[in-house]
Structure 1
Amino acid sequence: MMAAFGFALMIVLIKISGERLPVTQILFVRQLGMALMLSPGIIANLPGSLKTEKMHLHGTRVLFALGAMLFGFTAVIHMPLAEATALGFAKSFFVTIFAVIILKETVGVYRWSAVAVGFIGVLVMLQPGTAGYSLYGLMAVAGAACAGLVMVVIRLLSRTEASQTILAYQAVGVGLVMMVPAWMYWVPPTPREWVLLALVAIVSYWSQKANIYAYKHGEASLLASLDYIRLVYATFFGWLLFHQLPSTLTLVGAGIIVLASIYTIHRETRRKQRLASDPDARGFNNS
């Protein structure tokens, strides 16, 4: 729950920072700060902390992590927090799709049905063809798609790479890519904005640390379900700080997305448990 609160606080800080600062600048400073906080561990474990035989996968992760953050942060800045957060939960549906395509996982009727229902929730929230339709809503979904692909790439990397190596390449790689656009569109921050940018980096770093610790010591499906508390935090912060309350359609769509996501995670956890107890049970099933 602390990680969920931290991630919700992070998007609040990004939204406030984005009132005047470009998203490229926010992302660059965030990555620079995270790289600095990771550097003691990286330096202490050199050269092993940067040793890899999967540079192409690290490059792929950096590219799509960049897309996830650029699309996601832009959506957060321009949309109500609750809407942007709920659309971001579509990530779990894209994880299922990309796991089938890339990892050749078997997905049965129940999980495909949950994915289909989840995308109905996305359409309810996007409201295509109406006055409520927004380019930023599409950007939130694009960010979720990129994040879903990142999760699948991390599964591939985690087979051979240490978690510190994965984090290091992502933090440094995205920061380096964003250096040029951040410099081109740099807006001198005020002292208040420097504090906000520093907090974005600090909160992001410690939220990720808390998330990693929780998944290391807790039950994965329960923790994944608790992550949806972020929507409650986002709704509260949106109301308190920005006077934003979700519409009825937003609540309906968000409810569909969250329930379908939780069900998808539940079925995925059951599948992993079956494979752990019977590694040969890889044929078609209804999970």
Structure 2
Amino acid sequence: MPASAPQIRQAISLSLLMIIIASTAAVATKFASRQASTEAIVTVQYLVCLILCLPITLRPGLVNLRTERAGLHLFRGAVGVLGFYLFYAALDNIPMVDAMLLRQSAPLTVPLVIWLWSRERIAPSAWVPLLIGFIGVGVILRPSPEGLSWWHAGGFLSALCLAISMVATHKLASTEPASRILLYYFVLSLACVAPFSLGDFTGLDWQVWAAMLYVGIAIYYTLRLYTRAYALAPAHAIAPINYLAVVLGGFWGWLIWDQVPDTWSLLGSALVISGGLLTIFLARSQQAANSS
């Protein structure tokens, strides 16, 4: 059943709140990284998310933990934690607007991930926005005779990990409830990163601890809002809101760290956002044609 206008408005409102919270989590991450290691930040994030997720998941009883897709859960968890690790490392080393923009390029890579995973054909019309978007990513990566900016490349790899996680989540959702998917994601991600953070928590200021705890709370509610918004309305109706994250990233970077986007960042951002919006427009047109 198509989403009604009130549902779409509610989904847009939830998406806006999600983007604002996620942008403040990025600010807190960048602040915490002045003292804490990326491994410590990610460990605290997943530990807080797990604590918040447990009561909801276990409410139906231990039977809700039963799964026959442990392998896919493990794969999704490993890819997810790698994506967050690369994103946080990029945040610590490049302008915030660049890191946010590269992260938001994830939807551009989803068709390629689906093609590699399931060999599903990419529609010819989809190649134009993909090309535009990837040219924008190339501009932001700043290729030069000396080579790529590796921290920018890490930011883009975080987007690729996010795209793989999106596809894996979609496949899991065919048989698994959302609460179970999130619980296994948090448990497995925590298991992947926690061993590498041992010894990284000594001597941290209370402000850094507060920032890391906030990141965990913010990421948890970001995921909850994301799930609710996309349950209310189709992706093409609310996905354009995600690009507000790039604007907020630029705003926080300028306000707190005096980071002003250069011409390359602005040009690359314009190309990536144009490619993303064109992808959404074509998907909407295709859906309308199929339903007519």
1:133 Cα shift?
A: 4.4
The aligned counterpart of 2:235 is 220
* Aligned residue number for residue 281 of structure 1: none
Q: Is 2:150 aligned against 1:128?
A: no
**Cα distance 1:250–1:130, how it changes in 2: closer, same or farther (>3 A)?**
farther
* RMSD across aligned positions (CA): 1.8
> How many pairs are equivalent?
277
TM-score, normalized by length of structure 2? Answer: 0.89
Hey, what's the Cα distance between the residues in 1 that align with 2:79 and 2:276?
A: 21
Aligned mates of 2:163, 2:287 — CA distance in 1: 18
Structure-1 residue corresponding to 2:118 = 103
C-alpha contact (below 8 Å) 2:136/2:269 kept by paired residues: yes
- Aligned in 2, Cα 1:151/1:273: closer, same or farther, shift over 3 Å? farther
Amino acid at match of 2:133: G
Q: Which aligned pairs between 1:38-53 and structure 2 lie closer than 5 A?
A: 38-53=53-68
Residue in 2 that maps onto 1:258: 273
Residue pairs, 1:59-74, within 5 angstroms: 59-74=74-89
1:107 aligns to what SS in structure 2? coil
The letter for the 2-side match of 1:33 is: V
Deviations 1:167-202 (A, max 9, x none): 111111111121110114444321111111111111
Q: CA deviation at 1:132?
A: 9.3
Partner Cα separation in structure 2 for residue 53 and residue 112 of structure 1: 36
Paired with 1:274 and 1:163, the residues of 2 have a C-alpha distance of: 31
Q: 1:61–1:170: 8 Å Cα contact kept in structure 2?
A: yes
> In the TM superposition, what whole-angstrom CA distance separates every residue of 1:111-167 from its partner, at most 9, and x where no partner exists?
112111211101111111157942100100111111111111111111111111111
Q: Which moves more between the two structures, 244-253 or 207-216?
A: 207-216
Following superposition, the deviation at residue 260 of structure 1 comes to 0.3
> Which blocks of at least 5 consecutive residues in structure 1 are unaligned?
279-287
CA contact (8 A) 1:34 1:201 kept: yes
Tell whether 2:226 aligns with 1:211: yes
- Tell me the distance in 2 between the aligned counterparts of 1:267 and 1:51: 39
1:177 is matched with 192
Q: Which ranges of structure 2 fall in alignment gaps of 5 or more residues? A: 1-15
Distance across 2 between alignment mates of 1:195 and 1:156: 35
CA distance in 1, matches of 2:211, 2:100: 20
Post-superposition shift, 1:77? 1.5
- The amino acid of 2:131's aligned partner reads A
Q: Report the equivalent of 1:86.
A: 101
Distance (whole Å) between structure 1 residues aligned to residue 190 and residue 133 of structure 2: 33
Q: Displacement, 1:40? A: 0.6
- Give the aligned residue type for 1:163: A
Aligned runs of 1:142-181 on 2, under 5 Å? Answer: 142-181=157-196
Assess, with a 3 A threshold, how the Cα gap between structure 1 residues 50 and 63 changes in structure 2: closer, same or farther: same
SS in 1 for 2:198: helix
CA distance in 2, matches of 1:267, 1:115: 12
4+ long deviations beyond 4 Å: 130-133, 269-275
Question: What percent identity do the matched residue pairs reach?
Answer: 22
Equivalent position SS for 1:227: helix
Residue 64 of structure 1 deviates from its aligned partner by 0.7
Does 2:32 match 1:32?
A: no
Distance change >3 Å, CA 268–CA 60, structure 1 → 2: farther
Sort the Cα spacing of 1:191 and 1:259 in 2 relative to 1 into closer, same or farther, 3 A: same
Rounded to whole Å, the distance in 1 between the matches of 2:91 and 2:147 is 16
Normalised to the residue count of structure 1, the TM-score between the two structures is: 0.91
